[in-house]
Chain A
Amino acid sequence: MRHQPAGLIDRTFPYWSLLPAVVVFIVLSLYPLLNLLMMSVSTYRFEGGVEHTTFDPMANLRYFGEDPGLRPAIVNTLIFVFVAVSLELAIGLALAITVSRVSRYKGLIRTLIILPILVPPVAIGSMWRLMYNYDFGVFNQFLSVFGLGPVNWLGDGRFALASVIMVDVWHWVPFIFLILFAAVEGLPSDVVEAARIDGARQAQVTRYIVLPLLRPAIAVAFTFRAILAFKTFDEVFLLTSGGPGTATELISLHLYKVFFAQNNLGYGAMLSVTVILMVVSFLLVSRRATQGGKEA
Chain B
Amino acid sequence: MHDRLHGLLKAATLSIALAGAALAPASAQSVDVGKHTPITILINASPWYAGFEAAVDLYSKQTGNKVNLDVTPYGGMLEKARNAVRGASSPYDLLNLDGGWTIEFYEGGFLKPINDVDPSFTLPKEMLTCGNTHWWNAQKRWRTPDGGKLMGVPPNCNVHIVAYRKDLYDKAGLGAPKTYDDVASACQKLQSPPGLYGFVIRGERGNPIRYDFSTFMVGHGGEFVANPQEGDYTVTVNSPKVLAALNQFIALAKGCGPANFGAIGQADLIQLMASGKAASVQVVIAAWSNFEDKTKSAVAGKVAAAAVPAAVPGQKPGVVIGNWSFALPNNATAERHKAALAFLKWFSTAEAQRAYAEAGGIPVRSDTLKSDLASKPQFAWMPAYLASVEASVASLGYAEAAAVEQAIGLRLNQALIGEMSPAKALNTAAAEVETIFSRSGRKTGKLPPLPE
Residues of A in contact with B (beta carbons under 8 Å apart): 46-51, 66, 68-69, 122, 126, 129, 133-136, 150, 152, 154-157, 160, 240-246, 257, 260-264
Q: Are A155 and B260 CB-contacts (below 8 A) given A68-B432, A243-B413, A245-B205?
A: yes
B107/A241 in contact, CB under 8 A:
no
Q: Which residues of A contact B46 (CB under 8 A)?
A: none
Asked whether A245 and B410 contact (CB < 8 A) given A46-B109, A152-B260, A154-B263, the answer is yes
Closest to B82 in A: A263
Total A-B residue contacts, Cβ distance less than 8 Å? 98
Cα(A244)–Cα(B263), bound, Å:
6
Interface-central residue, A68, A160, A260, A262, by most chain B CB under 10 Å: A262
| CB atoms of A135 and B277 under 8 A apart | yes
Complex-state Cα separation, A68 to B436, whole angstroms: 12
The 5 closest A-B pairs by CB, nearest first: A155-B260, A243-B205, A46-B108, A155-B263, A48-B109
A261:B402 contact, CB within 8 angstroms: yes
Whether the pair B435, A245 counts as a contact (CB closer than 8 A) is no
Structural contact, A262 and B406, CB atoms closer than 8 A: yes
Tell me the smallest distance from the CB of A251 to a CB of chain B, in Å: 15
B109 adjacent to A49 (CB under 8 Å): yes
Residue pair B86, A244 in contact (C-beta under 8 Å) = no
How close is B335's CB to chain A, nearest CB, in angstroms? 19
The reply to whether B267 and A50 form a contact with Cβ atoms under 8 Å apart is no
Q: With an 8 A cutoff between CB atoms, is B194 at the interface?
A: yes
Once bound together, how far apart are the Cα atoms of A152 and B261, in whole Å?
10
Q: Which residues of B contact A245 (CB under 8 A)?
A: 205, 262, 410, 413-414, 417, 419
Q: State whether the Cβ of B268 lies closer than 8 Å to any Cβ in chain A.
A: yes
Q: Which residues of the partner chain B approach A50 to less than 8 Å between Cβ atoms?
A: 109
Indicate if B328 sits at the interface (CB-CB under 8 A): no
Task: Name A243's contact: one of B107, B206, B272 (CB within 8 Å).
Answer: B206
A156 to B419, CA, bound (A): 11
Main secondary structure of the interface of B (DSSP, over half): helix
Q: What is the distance, in angstroms, from B425's C-beta to the closest C-beta of chain A?
A: 10
Binding site for A on B (CB under 8 A): 73, 75, 78-79, 82, 85-86, 104, 107-110, 194, 204-206, 258-265, 267-268, 271-272, 275, 277, 330-331, 402-403, 406-407, 410, 413-414, 417, 419, 432, 435, 439
- Find A49's partner among B73, B108, B277, B407 (CB 8 Å cutoff): B108
A49 touches B271 (CB 8 A): no
Would you mind naming 11 contact pairs between A and B with Cβ atoms under 8 Å apart?
A: A46-B104, A69-B410, A133-B271, A135-B277, A150-B194, A152-B263, A241-B204, A243-B206, A243-B263, A244-B262, A245-B414
Q: Are B275 and A243 in contact (CB under 8 A)?
A: no
**Contact flag A244-B271 (CB < 8 Å), given A46-B108, A154-B260:** no
Task: Report yes or no: B410 in contact with A134, Cβ–Cβ below 8 A.
Answer: no
| Apart from the given pairs A47-B108, A49-B331, A152-B260, 13 other A-B contacts in the complex at a CB distance below 8 Å | A46-B104, A49-B110, A66-B439, A69-B406, A69-B410, A135-B272, A136-B271, A150-B194, A160-B263, A243-B413, A245-B419, A263-B104, A264-B403
